[in-house]
Structure 1
Amino acid sequence: MAFLEIDNLHKAFGPNIALHHFDMKIERGEFITFLGPSGCGKTTVLRMIAGFETPTRGTIRLEGRDVTRVRTRDRAVGMVFQSYALFPNMTVAQNIGFSLKVAKLAQKAADARVAEMLELIKLPHLAARYPWQLSGGQQQRVALARALANKPRVLLLDEPLSALDAKIRVSLREDIRALQRELGITSVFVTHDQEEALSISDRIVVMNEGRVEQVGAPLDIYNFPRTRFVASFVGTLNILAGRVIDPAAGRIVVDGQELVTARPLPADDAGKERLLALRPEAILLEPPAHGRNSLAATVEEISFLGAVVRIRARVTNAVISLDVFNDPNRILPERGQPVALGFSHDNLLVLDENAV
């Protein structure tokens, strides 16, 4: 039995369906991220786990107990919001200890727990300050400590880093992951930021229009996307349309040039149009080689991005982006120059949907 089970969850707001038949099993101590664009249903799932929303149908079980219609305060979950939601008239220590006071914990035990949380977030010297005297990153650390103070069974984080600037966001997400591992607490994180999801998750649930597109480890989600949406949403991607000419041999023609996939295709794909995906970093500027695919192209644009140089090259109807590391000794091609784009069979992914 999984620690947290979500079974056939469905949510409608009047005629609008926010979530379609959501299923998920989360193990104890896992860090799960719901990733997707605004309005895809990820926060709706989080709010139903927390008890802020009631499902139209479906079941939520925590350690085998049906909590679908149990009050939020009786679920033993901690919640961290995007907006911090700290009480402005309370000090840092009072904010952290608020849930302990509501739970009527003895004052001595509550004070000890608050002190423990302050040490955990490395802010013991700010215990007497008020929220307005803190930076955004410090306020979110306090919000995290408040959510953890009452020792919840599940920690829920609703885009907690989106209001912070880039450097603080990176630092705080690393702190959140380190704390989660140290405490071993089951956590569900919501974000629209693919880099956040890839960097801190055990598993990622990619969502779109109220449905789950794919669930998997970060490496699987990035390297082996199953649908066009996942491939396009997670990382930069080249999408190509090809026609299958020999399914058994994995042979596909793209703009008059033949490519080969790593695995055979279904026999009934013969003559069909299929969508292919290719990551920019998987492509090399090299002549054709045995066991590798190659596309003849012409350089259209070169962009310097710091550590990476992005080259855009045209293959008849398709434009392909490839990334190379910035090397002062590398001689880059010029605009209008013919080039060969080489990549392995394994890097050419055939997506589930047919091309349209």
Structure 2
Amino acid sequence: MNASHDDMSEKNATHHDAAPCLLFVDDDRDIQVAARILFQRRGINMLSAHDAAEALTRLASHPVALVLLDLNYTKGARTGAEGLALLKDMLVLRPDLPVLVVTGHSGVSIAVEAMRAGATDFVMKPWNNERLVNLVSKTLEKSRVSHSSETDPVLIVASQVMKQCVADVDRIATTRAPILISGPAGVGKMLLARRIHALSNDTGALHVLDAEDCEALPEEDGVWIFRNSEALSPSLQRHLTDRLDERSPPRVIALSSLEPHTLRSRLQPKLMLHLGLVTLKIPPLSERPDDIPALAAHFLHYFSVRHMLPEPELDAVRSAALQAEVWPQNVRSLRAAVERAVIMGGWQASPEGPGNQAEETQTLRDTERSLIEAALRRHSFNVTQAARELGLTRPALYRRMARYGL
């Protein structure tokens, strides 16, 4: 990231700034700089994002009123697939968000496809400055989007297993089939359930029910999300089965921390025939370590904006240390650890983690020291080569070596 420009723009794009905030997603940094200068002259704050994950983080963290969306972020990409996937994710997060597609290599046909997918309009590269500013201004005037950045949590995925899980969700979301989502506490079951609802085109009401406290089923249909579905009372299980047997049943999404085979012993067989029709299982964070650095980067930015504090550094060593940590509450624990790091101005071991786990579990500090020492030994204590492997500058590595007495 171009820190000098991006950091400056983010300071301007605060929750209390009256000027509209625009998010421009494009991997070309020169185009980003030119666009920022253009919009700043017109009193429009601009945030930059260079790929999909960064764009979703900016959208969740800032009061974005409009998005300019390039469709390709990987060198050589021309299909627009990356941008179309990001467009879907952004509209799941903010259904009323105006998005203007910026297209060059992908051409008009992809821009038209993006508009069918929910984009507001498109502009071709190279653009005419006056026409672009006029289009942005008119779109902002027409838009009734609230400039609040309070949104549902963002679903950030990097691992193949979670990408497949999201692909499965997107495929079945438009059906009316009941769905069972299982996985340990804190893995993101509710996020997937809300994504299903957002993509379902269901115009009925959304009811989120805690099975433990549920005494009666909603009278109206729509989408019913049951937390801790295994706790449904026997009478409610019978009533729910009867509703699902109807010709036009509600859409039921059941969430459970139990394994499906264990859940079968807690729910009545006829109800499980419905709920077990489509089953999605989210693995714990320990089984998808590739998601950890992506989630940590997202939470770092989110909480630094929320608390108006600097972001602690997230380098290769720190990412590896986080991947080696134990997260009892999965994403929930990681989120708390990152927020603590932002508030305290530096990384600390999670109070849920090593202190309450087996004795052989390393703390973040121990893990980082071990990683650095191992890299130094592999390179015969050549600091330049070790720093390159760890993704650090020489001064940063020297500081860590001094910290750990290496």
TM-score (norm 2): 0.27
Name the one with the larger helix percent: 2
Q: Bigger relative contact order, structure 1 or 2, given CA contacts below 8 A and separation 6+? A: 1
Bigger-Rg structure (1/2):
1
Name the one with the larger strand percent: 1
TM-score (norm 1): 0.29
